Structure 1
């Protein structure tokens, strides 16, 4: 199982690098912000991605420099910073996500719907 996971992730990392000149961590941050359109705090983002605050900050710094995300300070607590997609970030992610989905479909295209359902059920049971 670990070999399949690593192989799939490696393939997707290379796909993002070659076809989109981006990285998997950047994709993951954009995807998290896409799911939470109103924005999240940097601490929430770190928890969503299961990474340290420092790792999330480094990725957000680059995305902000590229105009894909914006940071705003909380009016209630100056220590709290919210991050959200910009309109450009939203548009770029939607195109990237569609391509990413096609790449994932190609990776798992040899599996039937029944195979995927069985695999999903097994993984859910293992996760309990």
Structure 2
């Protein structure tokens, strides 16, 4: 019996909702991970790192990449080393700081990422195919309320 089924009779509605959200996230993430591996022979962390760099064409320092991805610097360094070896990212010295460098996508990296991003978008669209446009808009709005409330509580 999965977490969601167990919580159905034992816990309040809010906990059941939380578990439903978590279960949906885990299922979709597993599908995306599987598809990235099968279609592009890559991993979700590699895709995520490239996505961060796509949003920052001038490049990002390693510390900033780690912060944005919410992983340790060692993990980012390992992924960056792999991507650099494949010619997908460059390391560029930071003027005035000999110890720091920025990482940015190469032209090849941008092409590879764009192919992956287009396919990724289709996988996500497919994951939500059971919902109407109105359902999606409503769910988005409701989850926005939860997000705003959670942020307020965290700040205050």
Same fold per superposition (TM over 0.5): yes
1:44 to 56, 64, 83: 64
Where do 5+ consecutive residues of structure 2 fail to align? 1-20, 150-156
Larger radius of gyration: 2
Indicate yes or no: 2:149 matched with 1:123. Answer: no
Q: Alignment partner for residue 4 of structure 1, among 20, 24, 35? A: 24
Contiguous gaps of at least 5 residues in structure 1:
none
- Work out which of the residue numbers 84, 93, 98 in structure 2 matches 1:73: 93
User: Of 13, 31, 35, which aligns to 1:15?
Assistant: 35
Alpha-carbon separation, structure 2, partners of 1:46 and 1:112: 36
Task: After TM superposition, give the deviation of residue 16 of structure 1 in Å.
Answer: 0.3
Report the number of matched residues.
Answer: 128
Normalising by structure 2, what TM-score? Answer: 0.79
Task: Kindly state the Cα deviation for residue 45 of structure 1 after the two structures are TM-superposed.
Answer: 0.7
Scaled by the length of structure 1, what TM-score is found?
Answer: 0.96
